[in-house]
Structure 1
Amino acid sequence: MALVIGNNSYSEVPVLAKARADAQSIGTKLNELGFTVTTALDQDRRGLNKKISEFTARLEPGDAAFVFFAGHGVEIGGENYLLPTDIAAPSAGGSDFVKSESIALSDLLDRVRKTGARSAVVVIDACRNNPFELVEGRSIGTTRGLGRIAAPQGTFVIFSAGAGQLALDRLNEDDTAENSVFTRALLPLLSEPGLELRTLVAGLRREVRDLALTVQHRQVPAYYDEMLGDFYFTQAALPAEPAPLPISTMQTDFEVARSIGTPQALDTFLERYTGREDEYTYTVALQLRQGLETEQALVEPPAPQTPETPDIPVIPDSKSVMRDTQAALNEIGCQAGRTDGIAGPRTRSAFAAYLAASDSNLGADDLGTAHALEELRQKSGEICKPAPRTASAPAPASSAAAAPLAGAWKFKATCALVVKVTGNVHYTHAGGNKYHGRLSDSLGQNANTEVYLNGQQISGTDYFPGITVTWRGRLAADGRSFTSSGSTGCAVYAWR
């Protein structure tokens, strides 16, 4: 279900050129994609409220809703207001009048939320010059654009420009395109098969930014993500064989640089994506590069050559050591999987199983080191045998039995070959097998987390700003630690 609004013909504030055409183009595209579209063009306040009511009346619990607004908007006192065509230019100090005669964005979002819609995507192209910038010598609202918002849960809101930025209708006097810069970048992305919403928005932001920079203007669409799970406007065609979900070019380049594993490869990646330092993938790549510098500094120089030892063995690289380590773990029954030289979740689990089943003095951080490999090569037989079951009396009930995850935990995560993150999380029992928590880590990130415990099996979702991480793990028998791996490739060990 979709509601598409486009207002050009304002009676007392500046008329717009492309808002109506933008709405019509978006509506046509959504019709092609199978949406039921409610269209509202050049609507006064009464007509706009009527169209919104018609739209929300059609929404049913579990529906996916889409709202598009192109027209004038203004931010007053931290709230964003969408202006109908009959909005009057108020006298100085008339902020309250503007509020009463327009549509508060938060009210619109709330009206959609109350229908029980499963998810809502809201696109607002109202980041133009403030139509009330000067009214009898005073400004009503911010100078230009809209302000930041707090989106309700289940909602993904996109603004055509960032806070305080101006959205361009055209690039120059010779630009005769029917649609605004933002809408012309958005339209083709809506019908691209298999493009998840967050990947779509990342591409949209880059495209609009690059177009605006051609005329020395700064416009980067802003978004506010409170949606749970993935959203697709167009599902990917069913392949003959299962194929991985599409990922961004940045993510693809990072995986290539990480698999090569050399400082030069990572330097090339970091240089290519200069300007995107606030993104998670860039942070991981930077820490990986710094980790390689640390490892290189710790490598002892080779012993000098002497005539008695003309053939000095070459010190193997870290990937070679990891491949040999995986092979050695497989030999003793610890099931490390493929010998690909990558310390993935299965390899780390196999090494942890070896540490638990042997009398080794090694630690988890020794995985991939030469001395750990040497110890593994000296072992024989099946070390990682399943522990035999032994009869025992049931443990006495304790206050923690009803909520074994509740309380404070520390964790250590390995998120790439040498990138390590530490942090804390506190879980609160939310009834049944559900827990809520608050997480903070050494990268300065904070997240809300939702966890379910079924026996010893744990599944969770961490909601970081701009990224949602899903993970699965297992609680130790004593309830004092657990291990997990997630959608970002991080392997986690938590304890208390």
Structure 2
Amino acid sequence: MRYITLLLSLICMALTVNSAQADRRVAFVVGNGAYKNVAPLPNPSVDAKAMAAALRNVGFEVVEGVNLTRDKMTERLLDFGKKAQGADVAVFFYAGHGIAISGTNYLLPIDADIKSEMDVKLGAAINIDLTLDQTMGDAKVKLVFLDACRDNPFAAKIKSNSATRSVNVGSGLAEMKSGEGTLIAFATGPGQTALDGTEGGNSPFTRALLANVTQPGVEIQQAMTKVRAQVNEETNKGQLPWGHTNLIGTVYLNGAPAPAAPGAAAPAQQQVALAPNAEVEVEFWRSIKDSNKAEEFKAYLTNYPNGQFRSLAQSRVASLEQGGNKPDATRNLSAGIDPAVFTEESSQLSEDQIGLDKGQRRDVQRRLNGLGFDTKVTGIFNQDTRNVITRWQAARGYPKSGYLNRLQHRALLSEIIATQPATASSSSDDDEKPAPRKRASGGGGGGGSAPAPRQSGGGGDPAHMGRFMGGVVGGILR
């Protein structure tokens, strides 16, 4: 009997998996912050990219956009509407400015220039009710998340140009009712305004959504209860998300809890829950890796303070902020290394004591390039390379000289960077013989037990090889 029960449990699990895989999931994710006619918002684009990555990780096809004009938003909505026809689950996420006029809510494209109620009614803004009805009406389950309850930036203009008639221009968004199979969640209550959060990070509401709605085995309404509690706590009871739901069944974005098999150990579920977060992190990194905005890398560091791309993100921030003149921030870039690296001076003598051959100098130049400090890879430390080393030292809070010492060299090797494998980037060395390697003397390194210098490929040092392979993985993901 016990074996029959186990077999039935396994069959149910298999059917559940097959059903989940067959579900058609579509999401619309947009964040508008770079407004042309009112003050910009720093967080919506970061919120949207993080949410898109999280939804893709649990099987959604995502129609995504950031900082969209009216025409571009319309294009994305038409695409989403086609894809959402007959979908099992459709998600609508928007972060940015939204306004309420006479009880109707509107989303604002970045080129919105609203001077009167007529501008809104004639299409300068996007009617939320009409949009949801037209794009998601055929979906079986509809989930709507609106992180748009900010102050109306056009309120004064609309009121001043509507002196001859009564126009109700709301603060925040107006209450909305959900139809059958729909959940609507707002960042805060009707008529209230929500917080943007720390610049370059996620808003409190989006951060709570990311932490809860795609957790394995958590039903969406349970997740939203946790979202409300998290935002309420983070804002010291200054913001309480509000929503309306008319769902007629249980909804799981990351799999329903599997039936407990007799004698099954509980820790197995905990291990399963770890994998999606890692994939979300990688997807998030891919979405920002080519960015030239420091705030997007800061957002990665906020969401993944110990993430696998932490060093590279910190380096990109330092590079984009040009020079790292904030000692406390730059020291964190080399966390975990010998503290003496921040005080020990370097010179031509200390660099000679490391004994870098031409291949190792190329490795240094490649690493500096991977960290955003561009220099030519020649194997020769000319004045250009000296200047780049000086900038790297400044960004890390090390004494600036343009020369390396043993501790600084080790610190550079310890940073995970987007480098290329030696076979792909040093083909010009094929006909060169490496210069004889010098042994380090006891001085200049902060300790007489330092290992001999390593070749650019990592030599036989397993720890260095691990760091080097980490850099190669980073290079592939770029």
TM-score range (shorter-chain normalised) is 0.3 to 0.5
More helix by share: 2
TM-score normalised by structure 1 residue count: 0.45
Whose RCO is larger (CA < 8 A, sep 6+)?
Answer: 2
